[in-house]
Amino acid sequence: MTMVRKIQPPLALMAELTHRCPLQCPYCSNPLELLKVDRERDTAFWLGVIDEAAELGVLQIHFSGGEPTLRQDLARLIEHATSRGLYANLITSAVLLDGAKLQALAQAGLAHVQISFQGAEAETADRIGHYKNGHAKKIDVARLVTKLGMSLTVNAVVHRQNLAELPAMIDLAVALDADRLEVAHVQYHGWALRNRAALMPERAAFEAADAVVEARRRELLGRMAIDYVVPDYYARAPKTCMGGWGQKFLNVAPDGRVLPCHAAETIPGLAFERAGDRPLRDIWFGGAAFEAFRGTAWMQEPCASCALKDVDFGGCRCQALALAGDVAATDPVCHLSPLHDSVLAMAERESVAGVKEFVYRRL
Ligand code: SF4
Ligand code: SF4
Give residue-wise pLDDT tens across range 163-213: 999 999 999 999 999 999 999 999 999 999 999 999 999 999 999 999 999
Q: Are 260 and 183 in contact (CB under 8 A)?
A: no
Q: Reply yes or no on whether the pLDDT at 4 is more than 70.
A: no
pLDDT of residue 79: 98
Compute how many other C-beta atoms are within 10 angstroms of the C-beta atom of residue 107: 12
Average pLDDT over the chain reads 96
> Residue 6: pLDDT band by 50, 70, 90 thresholds?
confident
Taking CA atoms only, the protein residue closest to ligand 2 atom 2 is 303
User: What is the best residue among 312, 316, 317, 339 to mutate for testing ligand 2's pocket, by most ligand atoms within 8 Å of CB?
Assistant: 312
User: How much of the chain is helix, strand and coil, in % rounded to 5?
Assistant: 40, 15, 45
Residue 244 Cα, ligand 2 centroid: separation in angstroms?
13
Q: Write the pLDDT tens digit of every residue in 83-135.
A: 999 999 999 999 999 999 999 999 999 999 999 999 999 999 999 999 999 99
**pLDDT for the residue 244:** 94
**243: left (phi > 0), else alpha (psi -120 to 50), else beta?**
left
On whether the CB atoms of residues 179 and 166 are closer than 8 A, the answer is: no
- CB-count burial class (<10 Å; 0-12, 13-18, 19+) for 334: buried
Residue with the nearest Cα to atom 7 of ligand 2? 314
> Is residue 347's pLDDT more than 70?
yes
**Atom of ligand 2 at shortest distance to CA of 303?**
2
Cα–Cα distance between 352 and 237 in angstroms, integer? 23
Q: What atom in ligand 1 is closest to the CA of residue 129?
A: 2
Report the percent of the chain where pLDDT is more than 70.
99
